[in-house]
Structure 1
Amino acid sequence: MSDAREKILQAARAAFSERGFDGVSVEEIAHRAGVKKALIYYYFSSKETLFEEVWNNALEELEKHIFKEIEGENYYIKKIKRFLKAYVDFVTSRKILSRVIEREKPAVLNAANSGETWSRLRDRYNVFVERVAKLIEEGKENELIHPDIDPKAAAKLIAEAMSDSTSDPPIAESLQLLILRGLIKES
Structure 2
Amino acid sequence: MNNKEKIFEKSIALFSEYGYDGVSIRKIASAVGIKESSIYNHYKSKESILDAILAYYINEMTKDEIPLNQASDNLDKSLEYFYKAGVDLYTSKLNDVKMMKITRIIFVETYHNEKIRKFVKTAIVDAAINGWIALFDLMKEKELIKRDCNSKQLAESFYYYGLYLLIEHVIINYPEDDEKFLKELARKSEIQMKLIYNSVKKRD
TM-score norm. by structure 2 comes to 0.68
CA distance in 2, matches of 1:8, 1:38: 12
Structure 1 position 162, deviation (Å): 3.8
User: Is 1:155 equivalent to 2:135 in the alignment?
Assistant: no
Q: Highest relative contact order (Cα 8 Å, sep 6+), 1 or 2?
A: 1
Note closer, same or farther for the CA distance 1:23–1:139 as it changes in structure 2 (3 Å cut): farther
User: Is 1:10 equivalent to 2:9 in the alignment?
Assistant: yes
Superposition RMSD in Å: 3.3
Structure 1 position 33, deviation (Å): 2.2
1:118-176, CA deviations, whole angstroms, 9 ceiling, x for partnerless residues? Answer: 46534333464233443444334434357345255133333333454663165234313
TM-score norm. by structure 1 comes to 0.73
User: 1:30 touches 1:37 (CA, 8 Å); kept in 2?
Assistant: yes
Note closer, same or farther for the CA distance 1:102–1:143 as it changes in structure 2 (3 Å cut): farther
User: Is 1:175 equivalent to 2:188 in the alignment?
Assistant: yes
- 1:1-187 equivalences under 5 Å are 3-64=2-63, 67=65, 72-73=70-71, 74-76=73-75, 77=79, 78-91=81-94, 93-108=95-110, 110=111, 113-114=113-114, 117-118=115-116, 121-122=119-120, 123-126=122-125, 128-129=127-128, 130-144=130-144, 147-149=149-151, 150-153=153-156, 154-162=158-166, 164=169, 167-168=179-180, 171-185=184-198, 186=201
How many residues are treated as equivalent by the alignment? Answer: 180
Which protein shows a greater Rg?
Answer: 2
Note closer, same or farther for the CA distance 1:20–1:155 as it changes in structure 2 (3 Å cut): same
Letter in 1 for 2:162: I
User: 1:13 touches 1:96 (CA, 8 Å); kept in 2?
Assistant: yes
Letter in 2 for 1:172: L
CA distance in 2, matches of 1:29, 1:71: 44
Percent of residue pairs bearing the same amino acid type: 18
Letter in 2 for 1:63: T
User: 2:29 touches 2:36 (CA, 8 Å); kept in 1?
Assistant: yes
